[in-house]
């Protein structure tokens, strides 16, 4: 088994179907990869959707975090390479898994560049900047996907739930401390959903992420996102949003 695709999901029936469809379209021998969906406290039709697409394994449970769900999926995996995908991404080309296998080798951890699923200038600009950071090696994190060989995953010890929402970043840093090279695919890129940015507003969401990155690097506890109405009552955020003109 070459690749184990591990997808944690919490009530993602509206998005996971598109991901599973894109996996079905892969020009990759079906016997050479497996799909594992980890359903964390799902109360919608996520499990039924996964079964309808005949995934190899559906792991149901109460994991309470994407990190624990990913670790549970990795514990069931048989593949040499573990490919973790968020449930709301899409593989835009049928050669994606082939590209991962060609890049992934023993003792590396990596990700890929990304493009937005939703149209619009703000979404495109966001990913032009974020991908630029990766190309310049200023950002060694993940774009909603990560691949690593199983031996390295075990030596790192898996994902830490306490690192939310930076589990990918935390895992990559732990792997690099062990001397594991970090790589990224320049193409093909994964198509990432911008639903959280569009739902909470680009400026508010970016400000929240920047604040939490600072708290994480200072060893402080990361805060949950504030409701939009709370942001709107804070004068400093209204000022910054007004300067940028972004909601």
pTM: 0.90
pLDDT digits (tens, 9 = 90+) for 27-59: 999 999 999 999 999 999 999 999 999 999 999
| Neighbouring C-beta atoms of residue 54, cutoff 10 Å | 9
Q: In what order do the strands lie in the sheet with 109-116?
A: 57-61, 33-40, 3-9, 81-85, 145-149, 109-116, 182-192
For helices 202-217 and 121-135, what crossing angle results, to 10°?
Answer: 30
Percent of the chain residues topping a pLDDT of 70: 91
pLDDT digits (tens, 9 = 90+) for 110-167: 999 999 999 899 999 999 998 998 888 777 788 899 999 999 999 999 999 988 889 9
Confidence of residue 226 (pLDDT cuts 50, 70, 90): low
Tell me which of 131 and 186 has the higher pLDDT. Answer: 131
Q: Whole-angstrom Cα distance, residue 168 to residue 141?
A: 7
Quote the pLDDT of residue 116: 95
């Amino acid at each position: 088994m070459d690749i184990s695709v591990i997808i944690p999901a919490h009530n993602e029936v509206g998005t996971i179907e598109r991901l599973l469809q894109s996996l079905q379209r892969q020009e990759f021998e079906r016997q050479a990869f497996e799909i594992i969906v980890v359903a964390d406290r799902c109360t919608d039709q996520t499990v039924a959707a996964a079964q309808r697409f005949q995934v190899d394994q559906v792991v149901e449970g109460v994991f309470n975090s994407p990190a624990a769900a990913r670790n549970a999926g990795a514990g069931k995996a048989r593949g040499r390479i573990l490919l973790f995908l968020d449930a709301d991404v899409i593989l835009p080309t049928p050669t994606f898994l082939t590209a991962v296998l060609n890049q992934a080798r023993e003792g590396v951890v990596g990700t890929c560049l990304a493009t937005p699923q939703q149209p619009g200038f703000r979404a495109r600009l966001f990913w032009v900047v974020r991908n630029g950071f990766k190309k310049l090696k200023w950002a060694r994190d993940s774009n909603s996907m990560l691949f690593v060989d199983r031996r390295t995953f075990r030596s790192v010890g898996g994902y830490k739930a306490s690192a939310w929402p930076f589990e990918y970043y935390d895992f990559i840093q732990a792997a690099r401390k062990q001397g594991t090279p970090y790589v990224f695919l320049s193409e093909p890129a994964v198509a990432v959903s911008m639903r959280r940015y569009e739902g909470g507003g680009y400026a508010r969401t970016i400000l929240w992420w920047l604040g939490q990155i600072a708290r994480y690097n200072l060893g402080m506890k990361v805060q949950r996102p504030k409701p939009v109405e709370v942001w709107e009552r804070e004068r400093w955020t209204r000022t910054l949003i007004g300067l940028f003109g972004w909601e």
